[in-house]
Structure 1
Amino acid sequence: MKTFKLIALFTLFISTGAFAQQKPVFKISDIFHIKSGGDYDYLTVDSASNRLYISHGNKINVIDKFTGDSIAIISSKKDVHGIALVHKFGKGYISNGSAKSVLVFDLKTLKVLGHVPAGDFSDGIFYDDFSKKVICCNGKSKNLTVIDPRTDKAVANIQLTGWPETAVSDGKGKIYVNNSEKAEVDVINASTYKVIHRWPNRPAKAASGLAIDRKNMLLFAGCDEKKLIVINARNGKTIATLPIGDESDAIGFDKKSKLIYSSNGEGTLTVIKEISPIKFAVAQTLKTKKGARTLTVDQVTHKIYSTTGALAPKKKGEFRPSVIPGTFEVLVINK
């Protein structure tokens, strides 16, 4: 029995080592420059229209995902953060941070249609294709606003115990929220809007980016202390802990290639391969640029987009250093 185990372990070591020697070689293939001021947060790619929606200060820059050419600017009176696209209803939704609201716009004309009241510091936002609702994470009020895109009205508020960073859905009736303050994943029933589980992010601390492999029911949570944890989305068990760079603020998952990406504000992109539902390996650590902490993955072209800019010296009381006006840019990353 011991001999068999040794052989199995040796085989696992060899297969993992062989994979590690066949790293996917990602690189920064292009840089799109955006000559305006303002800080930044999330960005979203729309493969249906070949557009990139990029949060930048109090506006969304809409650009061509291939050329970087400007298509439009969607302006808001306050800071913008996340962008959710709902093709079924022909609308987009932008979380407006300190405005405590969500801006609604038309996907064809890119004109503003209105605003929906949300919680304090509306941040991460996405469309749940099971409940057919837009879910907005509100940091300071520690809750989620549930918006019906048919009416653009808030139909529920889900109270949590801590600051929600971002959320994803399994498409089958469960919503998973990275509760940063409590270092846990909160699981919500998408029909009743009730919290049904609170899963600790052990052995990591805090939480930020979150992605899901729906096929294998795996959650990928970016956490503090340079760790990414893989969680079984059925029972909350931690399957693996992997090293990532510092200041990770977003996690992406390419469904076809089974690659997990962590964009790290220190200036790196960690690429992790899902070898099997129980085996993972860091395939590459790509040097990007300081401040490139968020990302979006194009599921059609398999490119990754991240944003940053030249950072001014951090001032006292600032959460993050501000971007020097005129230096904002989009990094295009692919093999």
Structure 2
Amino acid sequence: MKKTILLFLIIAFISNSYSQTYKVSQKINVSGDEGWDYLAVDQVNQHLFVSHGSIVNVIDLKSNKTINTIPDTKGVHGIAIANDLNKAFISNGKDNSVTIVNLKTFKLIDKVAIEGQKPDAILYDQFSKKVLTYNAKSNDATVIDANTNKIIKTIPLGGKPEFSVTDTKGLIYVNIEDKNEIKTIDANKLEVTASWSIAPGDEPSGLAIDPETNRLFSVCSNNLMVIVNLSNGKIIKTLPIGEGCDGVVFDPEKKLIFSSNGEGTITVVKEENANTFSVLETVKTQKGARTIALNKTTHQLYLPTADFGIKPEPTKENPQPRASLIPNSFMVLVVENNAK
């Protein structure tokens, strides 16, 4: 009996320790009252690029201060960092363009108009030196030569693309939200080579990759993380995550996957090996913190959000009203491991 009680206490202690591991450690206040989407870490220069309505805020991660604002990025969604070329590529959803800036001076290099409509997620593939914008309205991907800033091709995707990752060896993977699929793109041929169903996952958005174990982590609107073998598209496991997820990142050193849930939580998943995964803990963040970026140098996580007012009652003209943003409340949450 005493051994049973002791074992129970040990298990309870371990469980409680896990539940207290990651916490919001800081809130970086950022000026402006517009909406947001993706954010990206420049690992080399330790800068954070934050999409923010019609601008991009650049935060110095050593001081947590805004050091620059990149203007004229109407309806900005994503930022792709190309350190080897000293460029950042920014997708502008409202004017169908890509803004290209110098990573160190933040000066404009070029602004490229694309034929694709409503560019959303954007990816830089260092292997092929290409940038792909994933166009939500035209259901395709625009390919840009990252060296010349010229458009090379448009790749039909047959559905609405969301986030994308590269294996850095010639293959690119992208979630197709309205088809519940992951598509594989050959970075050299610039064509789709495979389409995999990820059912029971529904409306996949965020995507992360572990190239060492050949695993993809796709987060879906029906509160599931779907773990996929990137060699053949086979589903390895599904795990529960929080409500309203729109982002996921993988920390290769800690072997942890972080799902950012708009309800105000992060689901932390542990990768024990290529076939063993489990939910480690649920971290409280803040409502609206649905996208996420990882600093691989410090292992800190960044999530943009704001404070919200009272949600209006539904009307005939507006059956699905949204709560308004409280002015001057936009921020980036910093989440880290307090036990590190």
Asked if 1:43 corresponds to 2:47, the answer is no
CA distance in 2, matches of 1:234, 1:157: 25
CA RMSD of aligned residues (A): 1.9
Matches within 5 A, 1:303-322: 303-312=300-309, 313=311, 316=318, 321-322=323-324
Write out per-residue CA displacement over residues 215-237 of structure 1, whole angstroms, 9 at most, x where no aligned residue.
11100000121000100000000
CA distance in 2, matches of 1:107, 1:136: 19
Structure 1 residue aligned with 2:254, among 227, 252, 257? 257
Cα distance, 1:324 vs structure 2: 2.7
Q: Secondary structure at the match of 1:44?
A: strand
Cα distance, 1:132 vs structure 2: 1.1
Runs of 4+ in 1 over 4 A off after TM superposition: 16-22, 317-322
Cα distance, 1:19 vs structure 2: 7.8
Paired letter, 1:134: V
CA distance in 2, matches of 1:21, 1:60: 39
Structure 2 residue aligned with 1:285, among 282, 286, 289? 282
Match in the other structure for 1:135: 132
Write out per-residue CA displacement over residues 265-311 of structure 1, whole angstroms, 9 at most, x where no aligned residue.
01101110001110001111011100000000011100000010012
Paired letter, 1:254: D
Q: Secondary structure at the match of 2:51?
A: strand
CA distance in 2, matches of 1:41, 1:236: 28
On the 8 A contact 2:42/2:83 being kept in 1, the answer is no
Number of aligned residue pairs: 320
Match in the other structure for 1:203: 200
On the 8 A contact 1:20/1:281 being kept in 2, the answer is no
On the 8 A contact 1:35/1:325 being kept in 2, the answer is no
Write out per-residue CA displacement over residues 105-140 of structure 1, whole angstroms, 9 at most, x where no aligned residue.
111210112211231111111111221111111101
CA distance in 2, matches of 1:190, 1:18: 48
Report the TM-score, using the length of structure 2 for normalisation.
0.90
CA distance in 2, matches of 1:317, 1:64: 41
Matches within 5 A, 1:174-253: 174-253=171-250
Paired letter, 1:323: L
Match in the other structure for 1:330: 332
Paired letter, 2:332: V
CA distance in 1, matches of 2:112, 2:176: 23
CA distance in 2, matches of 1:91, 1:317: 42
Structure 2 residue aligned with 1:272, among 250, 258, 269? 269
Structure 2 residue aligned with 1:148, among 145, 150, 162? 145
For structure 1, which segment, 68-77 or 251-260, has the greater mean C-alpha deviation from structure 2 after superposition?
Answer: 68-77
On the 8 A contact 1:91/1:105 being kept in 2, the answer is yes
Asked if 1:107 corresponds to 2:109, the answer is no
CA distance in 1, matches of 2:323, 2:182: 28
Structure-2 change in CA distance of 1:303 and 1:17 (3 Å): same
Question: Among the aligned pairs, what percent are the same residue?
Answer: 41
CA distance in 1, matches of 2:156, 2:27: 40
Write out per-residue CA displacement over residues 33-62 of structure 1, whole angstroms, 9 at most, x where no aligned residue.
112110000011112111111011100001
Report the TM-score, using the length of structure 1 for normalisation.
0.91
Q: Secondary structure at the match of 1:40?
A: coil
On the 8 A contact 1:38/1:325 being kept in 2, the answer is no
Paired letter, 2:231: R
Match in the other structure for 2:69: 73
Structure-2 change in CA distance of 1:319 and 1:53 (3 Å): farther
Asked if 1:125 corresponds to 2:127, the answer is no
CA distance in 2, matches of 1:272, 1:17: 19
For structure 1, which segment, 307-316 or 262-271, has the greater mean C-alpha deviation from structure 2 after superposition?
Answer: 307-316
Structure-2 change in CA distance of 1:104 and 1:55 (3 Å): same
Q: Secondary structure at the match of 2:178?
A: coil
On the 8 A contact 1:242/1:282 being kept in 2, the answer is yes
Asked if 1:61 corresponds to 2:57, the answer is yes
